[in-house]
Amino acid sequence: MILYIIILRYKIVSRYCKISTIHIRYMQIKMTILTYNKGLMTMKHMHLSVLAYSTGLHPASWRLPHSYVEEVGDIDFQIKLAKLAEKGKLDAFFLGDGQYISGEETGHISYYFEPLTALAAISRETHSIGLIGTISSSFYEPYLAARMLSSLHQISHGRIGANIVTSQFDLEAQNYSMQALPHLEKRYERADEFINVMKKLWESFTVEAIVNHKNSGIGLNHQYIHPLHYQGKYFQVAGAINIPTPKYGRPRLFQAGTSIPGRDLAVRHVDAIFSIAWNLQDGQQFRQDIHQRAMEANRQPPLVLPGLTVYVDENEKDAYKLKQQLDDMIPLEKRKKQLSKAIGLDISEWTLDEVVPSLPPYDALEKKVIKSVYEAVQRAVMTEHLTLRDVLDRFGTWVGHKTIVGTPEQVADEMIEWFEKEACDGFMLMSPTYPNAFEKFIDLVIPVLQARGVFRKEYESHMLKDHLNINTEKL
């Protein structure tokens, strides 16, 4: 059995990875034996998490007659969403962050609570679901971030993850004593050092140091405490962290985006990467690239979780009805303006039902835009020959992640196709409305995925590292 699995995995990887045959065989044998020894030879399960954002990822969600816009600033609303996610046995509940008043024209405050503070409250009302908050390496100090995350990790009994971002907008930088954000490469250089320092801090003081000998008066064994004495380009940290890391380990790490520096950061440090993929081929190519980079770095590849928006109902007509209702609330000219702003190009001369012209390289743009979004649009236009109407339709939900509309069976079919054809390891769910559309996904789609054997029926653990079911140590 082991030999058969080794040969199969060797053939799969050698097909996609342009590295030496000997290295491929060596790495795959190691990865296969590790997987076999961990008892993971049962059917592979899909990983699903959810991004909770305001009243939904569709920019018109707040305008629906029965939207929950008045409750966005109520922590009980966030708790309700987290409990729904836990009911569906999802891996994690994820809060993004933006440190400015949104210009996304949602009509209200898009980010309300600071994510780690909100997750502290949510952790007391949930039991098993992982909880992921967003930390900006461009604005935070690693010692502060490591302490906050370590505290929350222990409050939640091992359920915390951190999505490390470098931030995107100069508006945010101007709230942190900067005129503008540094260049992308500089931001990721700082992020790499930021994560390295946090990891060192979590290793600097573990529970083995706590002895609490009352008779002798010795509370700590300093052999297990290791001050960093760290001097780097961006950070200087003298001491050890003052919160001991428990035996079940440190918080887990995540990263969002598809830029080249982001991919390199992901394969060095994180357990999962949140990506953008508009089509199956896009997803396959990205995941293959991540796996090759991870192999060259001698690490287990992070999970690849592209964003997914789902409109689902018992019949297809009703599923499309909600999408049409939301799309109709945004006038065509406003939708074109939003697309133009997102890709940094003047599209006023584009014709609605004609194929979109080829987009220029990202580096040729005069306006700064989110690179991962721009390149996702660029690839889709190039490979699928989309009209402007097609692009606008796909771009309706936030930044244009993958969208599926249909019955529970139709939604599950397409999700499973992506999963089985190795375009992803699962998805980051980005519901068009909260809680209604998300609740329909939990009630209608999750049972289909469970019945088909691709998603868990119960939690086997209450810790996030076990939900992810991956080995993050260097192979």
Pick the closest to residue 250 from 299, 301, 200, 302 (CA basis).
Answer: 200
Residue 166 is predicted with a pLDDT of: 95
Residue 228 is predicted with a pLDDT of: 98
> CA end-to-end span of the chain, whole Å?
21
Residue 14 is predicted with a pLDDT of: 44
Residue 112 is predicted with a pLDDT of: 84
- The residue with tokens 């994180």 is 270
Give residue-wise pLDDT tens across range 252-267.
999 998 888 999 999 9
Residue 391 is predicted with a pLDDT of: 87
Give residue-wise pLDDT tens across range 66-112.
999 999 999 999 999 999 999 999 999 999 998 888 755 555 566 78
Token pair, residue 151, equals: 């505290």
Residue 295 is predicted with a pLDDT of: 94
- The residue with tokens 């008779």 is 215
Q: Give the burial class of 281: count Cβ atoms within 10 A of its Cβ; 0-12 exposed, 13-18 middle, 19 or more buried.
A: middle
pLDDT tens, N- to C-terminus, the chain (475 residues)? 444 443 444 444 444 444 444 444 444 444 433 444 444 444 689 999 999 999 999 988 999 999 999 999 999 999 999 999 999 999 999 999 988 887 555 555 667 899 999 999 999 999 999 999 999 999 999 999 999 999 999 999 999 999 999 998 898 999 999 999 999 899 999 999 999 999 999 999 999 999 999 999 999 999 999 999 999 999 999 999 999 999 999 999 999 988 889 999 999 999 999 998 888 988 999 999 999 999 999 999 999 999 999 999 999 999 999 999 998 888 888 888 888 888 899 998 899 999 999 899 988 888 878 777 788 788 888 888 889 988 888 776 656 689 999 999 999 999 999 999 999 999 999 999 999 999 999 999 999 999 999 999 999 999 999 999 866 444 3
**8 A C-beta contact, residue 186 and residue 234:** no
Residue 43 is predicted with a pLDDT of: 62
Which positions ≥6 away from 7 have C-beta within 8 Å? none
Residue 338 is predicted with a pLDDT of: 81
Between the alpha carbon of residue 188 and those of residues 165, 192, 199, the distances in Å are: 9, 6, 16
Give residue-wise pLDDT tens across range 267-309.
999 999 999 888 898 899 999 999 999 999 999 999 999 999 9
Torsions phi, psi of 243, nearest 5?
-120, 115
Token pair, residue 84, equals: 């729904």
The C-alpha atoms of residue 369 and residue 375 are separated, in whole angstroms, by: 10
Please count the other Cβ atoms lying within 10 Å of the Cβ belonging to residue 247: 9
Residue 237 is predicted with a pLDDT of: 98
Residue 34 is predicted with a pLDDT of: 41
